[in-house]
Amino acid sequence: MTDQVRTEEEEPTGKGIGWTSQINGLNHRQALFVSEYLEHGNGTKAATAAGYSHADVHASRLLRNEKVIAAITRQRSALVVKTQKKGDVVIDRLWKEAEDPLNSDSVRVRALELLGKVHDIYSAEKKEINVFSGAFLADLDLSDVIEADLLVETPSESISYDGSV
């Protein structure tokens, strides 16, 4: 009986950060760092949340650690797959709503509209339109300017706040 208990305790329980069985070779603090880093992408914040003192130094060190990088890459890939699966479920559900003859026309049209947005069928709803007044061009004397000179790009200088160049 005690052998069974030990065997069950040695197997991953799924508790803690939820994916410790997938992070081979990392200690608990490193696994917490990976989890926090995936949440917000900031190494210093992740190291602080994982309990490291001198978080900026540890974050830099951890982000060069091959095991930590591999765990971050593996978990990002898993999150992408999970997100894609959720998106596929939503799209399948929208198709069912759009094709269901028992739904009202407005429900079916709305489902098709959302599918169109998901697949980027519609052009942008808002377009930026820049309108320039041609009045300032009338004041320019371009008689001395050669057309080729207008096509040459000149580098702009950086001006500081105190007005110096």
Task: Report residue 54 as tokens.
Answer: 């001198």
Question: What is the predicted pLDDT for the residue at 21?
Answer: 45
The enclosing H or E element of 57 equals helix 55-62
Residue 116 lies in a domain: no
Task: Report residue 93 as tokens.
Answer: 């559900």
Residue 42 lies in a domain: yes
Tally Cβ neighbours within 10 Å of residue 28.
13
CA 87 to chain centre: 15
Residue 45 lies in a domain: yes
Round to whole Å and give the CA distance between 91 and 105: 18
Question: What is the predicted pLDDT for the residue at 11?
Answer: 41
pLDDT tens, position by position, for the chain (165 residues)?
444 443 333 344 444 455 544 456 789 899 999 999 998 889 999 999 999 989 989 999 999 999 999 999 988 888 888 888 888 888 889 899 899 999 999 999 999 888 888 877 876 666 677 776 666 666 666 666 666 565 566 555 555 555 555
Round to whole Å and give the CA distance between 160 and 165: 6
Range of the domain at 26: 2-88
Residue 54 lies in a domain: yes
Residue 48 lies in a domain: yes
Task: Report residue 65 as tokens.
Answer: 């650690």
Alpha helices in 63-161 (DSSP H): 66-99, 105-118, 135-138, 147-151
Torsion of CA 19, 20, 23, 25, to 10 degrees: 180
Round to whole Å and give the CA distance between 103 and 111: 10
> pTM higher than 0.85, yes or no?
no
Question: What is the predicted pLDDT for the residue at 2?
Answer: 44
Round to whole Å and give the CA distance between 98 and 105: 9
Residue 102 lies in a domain: no
36 with 26: CB under 8 angstroms? no
Total number of domains constituting the chain: 1
Residue 153 lies in a domain: no
**How many CA atoms within 13 Å lie on the side-chain side of 92?**
6
47 with 30: CB under 8 angstroms? no
Residue 136 lies in a domain: no
